[in-house]
Amino acid sequence: MADVSRESELVDAFRAFATPLISDNLARVPGAVGLRPFHRLSGVMAGRALTVRTRAGDNQFIHRALDLLQPGDVIVVDGGGYEGRALVGEIMTSVAASRGAAGIVIDGAIRDAGAIGRNGFPCFARSAIHLGPYKDGPGAINVPVCVGGMVVSPGDIVVGDEDGVVAFPVDGAAALLVAVRAQEAREAEIMQTIKEKRYQGAYANPPRGTH
């Protein structure tokens, strides 16, 4: 129980930080390219990954995942980047929200973009299209997936905001959090020097031997 509580605290802590801060401290390697928020932005999404892999344009296994999700899960869907059919819309995102999901990330398309855009439930995708999905399968749940070029494993912490989505394993998350907090403090100090007109630039005084 203590481990579960600690993991929950870690997820909550990452809601205080923007994705660029997290990405910088992951060597700027992981990050979903091409996905953007469709919801009404009202803070940072953070949760544990419930992963789904679908065939292009088919959402049968997303429906199955809705029956398995736990409060705080982020449903992460590898739809192969296919944008010709929507994988979720207002109904499915509403079901996910009602069951306590922290958000949904789709490497593919959505529909009902207007309704989703008026809602605060986090929904990230590539695009919107009116064409609906197939519902025949195949697919898989709780397997490693790839969304926007970023590999996400079941249980990874997933964070999303207006700059995009990043994911990382729980192992090492505590150390990552320390690094992110330190960078936030450094950047706050830089912003103060800008405000006070003392900023000299990142390379004003480079280390000796780097000229």
Residue numbers belonging to the annotated binding site for substrate: 89-92, 111
Pick left, alpha or beta for residue 124 (phi over 0 → left; psi -120 to 50 → alpha; otherwise beta).
beta
Cα dihedral sign, 124-128-130-135 = negative
Partners of 46 in beta bridges:
159
Task: Please report, in range form, the residues annotated as the binding site for Mg(2+).
Answer: 112
Residue type, 195: K
Length of the chain as a residue count:
211
DSSP state of 43: S
Q: Are the C-beta atoms of 108 and 126 separated by less than 8 Å?
A: yes
Residue 44 CB neighbour total at 10 angstroms:
18
Task: Please report, in range form, the residues annotated as the binding site.
Answer: 89-92, 111-112
Cα 61 to Cα 26, 77, 139, 151, distances in angstroms: 31, 9, 6, 19
**SS3 for 44?**
coil
C-alpha span between 35 and 105 (Å, rounded): 8
Q: Are the C-beta atoms of 147 and 133 separated by less than 8 Å?
A: no
Q: Which parts of 102-199 fold into alpha helices (H)?
A: 113-117, 173-195
